[in-house]
A and B are shown apart, each in its own frame.
Chain A
Amino acid sequence: MRFALSDERRGFARSLDDLLGDAGVPAASRRWADGDSGPGLEIWRRLAEMGVSALRVPEAHGGLGAEPADVVVAFEALGRHLVPGPYIESVVLAPPLLASAGGGPSLDDLAAGTAIVTAAAPPMAPLALDAHVAHAVLVLDGSGLSAAERGEARTSVDRSRRLFEARPAGAPARLDPAVAAGALDAAVLACSAQLLGAGERALATAVEYAGSRRQFGRVIGEYQAVKHALADVRVALDFARPLVYGAAVSLGEGSPDAGRDVSAAKAATSEAAHLAARTALQTHGAIGYTEEYDLGLWITKIRALATAWGTPAFHRARVLAAVTAATG
C-alpha cells in the first residue's frame, strides 16, 4: 500500500503553482467576470502547454491518458489559484464522452487546448458554465449526450462563473451508461479537488492576515479565539484531502465503490472549504467583505462550487444508499 503522491505528481503540482502564482489569476478572474475573457484564455493556453487540457484525452489523440490522481493534483491547483473557465467540463467531462460518442470538436484539439467544450449535466449541473468561450456545448442527460445551443445567461454568486441555459439540438446519442457515470464521477472529483485547493488558499490568506493585522496592541493571531477557529479549518481540510485521493484511487481502479467515494469527497470538501471561507472572512473583518479585496473571489467561488456538481445533501444521500446496501 502506498497512499501518497509520487514525486512526479508533487513536481507537477509545484510547476502549476509556479505558473499560476505568476499569472495574475485574480485580475484575470475579474476581467473574466466583466466579459473580457482574453487574460483567462491566455492562462488556458499556458496550462494547455503544461498538459492540463490533455490529461483525460487518450494517448492516440495526443492526450496523456492520465489517472484521476493527476486530475486531482491539477484541479487542486486550479482551485488554489482561482482560475476561471470551464475546466471541469472541457478537461474532465468531455473527453470520455466525445471519445465514446464521436462528433463535436476533435479529441486532438481538446488535448491541445485549442478547442473548449462546456456542458450541462442535469440534475447535478443544470447550467453550462462559460458557454460564451466554448466551441461546443453539450448536454449529458442520463446516458444521452446531445449537442446543444447556448441559451439565456444566468447570474452566479461567483461573478467569474458565467452560466448559460443549454438547449439540446437534435436527438441524443446513447452512451454506454458506465462511460457516462464514470465521466460524471470524474467531474465531481475534479470539483472536490478544486474546493480543496480553494479552501487551502482561504486558510493560507487568513493565517497570513492574522499574523500581520494588529488590534489592542497585538497581532490578532495571538488571540486564542482566532487561533482556534483557524486550527479547526486546518483539521477539516486535512481530513477532507484523503477522501479526495481515496476517491481518485477508486475511480482509477474502476472500483465498484467509486461513486460512493467520489460523493464522500464532494460532501467533505464542500463542508471543509465552506468552513475555510467563513473563517477566513471572519478573521479579516470588514476588509474581507469588500469587492476589491481578493479574498471575496475565493469566498464566492467556494459558495458556488459547494453546490455545483451535486449538493452536499445529494452526495450524502448517495453515500448512505451505497453503504447501507453494503452492510448486511
Chain B
Amino acid sequence: MNLDLDDRERAFRDEARAWLAEHVPASPLPNMDTAEGFEAHREWEAVLAAGRWSVVSWPAAYLGRDASLLEWVLFEEEYYRAGGPARVAQNGISLLAPILFEYGTPEQRERYLRPMADGTEIWAQAWSEPEAGSDLAALRATAARDEARGGWVLNGQKTWSSRAAFAHRGFGLFRSDPSARRHKGLTYFLFPLDAEGVTVRPIPKLDGHPGFAEIFFEDVFVPDADVLGAPGDGWRVAMSTAGNERGLSLRAPGRFCAAADRLLTLWKERGAGSAALGERVADAWIAAQAYRLYTFATLARIERGESVGADGSVNKIFWSELDVRLHETALALLGAEAELRGAGAPCDGAWMDGYLFALSGPIYAGTNEIQRNIVAERVLGLPRGDR
C-alpha cells in the first residue's frame, strides 16, 4: 500500500502545474452565470483545449490525453491549487460525454465531443420538471413519434437547468410511450436550445445571477439522429450519468483541498486566539484530506475491477456537506464582515459566493435525503418498505 506517484504520473502532474502557472488568468473571471462571464469562461475553455487540458481523460482523438483516472485527479488538484476558473463546460463534459462515449453513435461522437471539449458548444442538463424533482421518473414532458419526418416531437416543460440561460444545447429525458409506467418508455434526447418551439426563461439563483432556467417545449422536432441510446431506454441511459454526477466525475478532491488551504491562510490572518474556531478549521482540513484519500481508495477499487455503485451516494453526501462546512468555517472566521459580497468584501466576497454555491450541493445531483435512502437500502441493506 502506498501513495507514491510513478514517473509518468509525476511528469504529467508537473507538466500540468507548469502550464497552469503560465495560463490561469491572473484576476478572477466575472461570474459565469452572467452573459459577460459566460463568454469569458467559454474563452477560457478554448485556452484549456488549445493546451489539451480541457478533457484530459478523453482519447486523444477528441482533444484528450488518454489520462488515467488518477492523472485526472492530479490534474484537478493542480487546477484548483492554481486558482483555475469554474468550468462552464462541466455539465457536458462530466454528465453527457461519458454516455456519448458509452451509448452514442459514431456520428454523435464526431459531431458533439470536440465542440464540447473546446467550449464552442455549452450543454445544459434538462432532467428536472416542476412536478418531477426527487421523483424524476414522474416526469411528464412528452415525445411523440413523427414517422414522416423521421424523428420525434417534444412538448412540455423542464426546469432548474443549469447554464441553460446562455447554453447552446440541452440533453434530457422525455416520455415517449405514454402507456408505459414510470421508468419505462422514456427516451433520451439531444436538442439545440435555440430550436424552433424552445423557450428558455432564466431564473436567478440565490446569488442573484441567472444560473439556471426553465425550458418550454412547443412541438419541437428532434431527428432520430439526436436520440441518445435506444428509444424507450432513456432511464437506464440517464442513470449511468446520475452515478457520475454523485460519484467521482463531478467532484475531484482538488477543489476541496484548495479551499482547505485557503481556509488555513484565512485562519492565520484572522483566527488566532479562538480554540473553538481552530478546532473547526482543523476538522475542515481533516475532512478535505479524508475526501482526497477516499478518492485514491476508490481509484484502487476501480482499478481492481470493482464497481463503485451505491457508494457514489456515500461520496455525494460527504462532498456536499464538506463544501458547506469549509465555507461556514471561513465565514465564522470573517465574523461580522462575513455577510459582505463583492468589491470591498474580504477576498472580494469569494467566501460568501462560494458559500451560496455550496448550499446547493445537498440539493442538486439528487438531494442528500434521497442519497441517504440509497445508502440505507443499497449499502446497509435496510428494507425498502412502502413509499
Contact = CB atoms under 8 A, between A and B. Distances in A.
From A6, A231, A238, residue with most partner B Cβ within 10 Å: A231
A215 interface: no
B235 interface: no
Contact of A227 (B1, B5, B297, B382): B382
From B275, B279, B296, B380, residue with most partner A Cβ within 10 Å: B380
B382 A230 contact: yes
Contacts of B4: 1
B256 to A, nearest CB: 12
22 contacts: A2-B2, A6-B1, A211-B381, A221-B376, A222-B382, A222-B385, A226-B382, A227-B376, A227-B377, A230-B376, A230-B382, A238-B311, A241-B294, A243-B293, A245-B293, A245-B297, A249-B3, A264-B290, A268-B290, A323-B264, A323-B285, A327-B261
Interface in B281-311: 281-283, 285-287, 289-291, 293-294, 296-297, 299-301, 304, 311
Given A234-B375, A239-B318, A316-B278, A267 B283 contact: yes
Interface of A: 1-6, 9, 69, 203, 207, 210-211, 218-219, 221-224, 226-228, 230-232, 234-235, 238-243, 245-246, 248-249, 253, 264, 267-268, 313, 316-317, 319-320, 323-324, 327-328
B382 to A, nearest CB: 4
Contact of B282 (A210, A232, A248, A316): A316
Given A228-B376, A327-B261, A4 B300 contact: yes
B386 A222 contact: yes
Contact of A2 (B267, B300, B383): B300
A238 B372 contact: no
Interface in B210-242: none
Interface residues of B, number: 52
Contacts of A218: 385
Interface string B22-36: 000000000000000
A210 B377 CA distance: 12
Contacts of A241: 294, 297
Nearest to A326: B264
Interface of B: 1-6, 9, 70, 261, 264-265, 267-268, 275, 278-279, 281-283, 285-287, 289-291, 293-294, 296-297, 299-301, 304, 311, 314, 317-318, 369, 371-373, 375-377, 379-386
A5 B1 contact: yes
A264 B371 CA distance: 26
A207 B70 contact: no
A235 B4 CA distance: 26
B119 to A, nearest CB: 31
A40 B383 CA distance: 37
Contacts of B267: 320, 324
Given A1-B2, A3-B300, A267 B293 contact: no
Nearest to B369: A228
B382 A238 contact: no
A253 B1 CA distance: 11
Nearest to A250: B3
B380 A234 contact: yes
Contacts of B296: 1, 3, 242
Contact of B291 (A1, A239, A316): A239
A324 B381 CA distance: 42
B383 A221 contact: yes
A228 to B, nearest CB: 4
A271 to B, nearest CB: 8
Contact of B383 (A211, A249, A323, A328): A211
B283 A327 contact: no
B383 A228 contact: no
A228 B281 CA distance: 26
A234 to B, nearest CB: 5
Contact of B268 (A221, A317, A324): A324
Contact of A1 (B70, B289, B373, B380): B70
B279 A238 contact: no
A241 B369 CA distance: 23
Contact of B264 (A230, A240, A246, A327): A327
B319 to A, nearest CB: 10
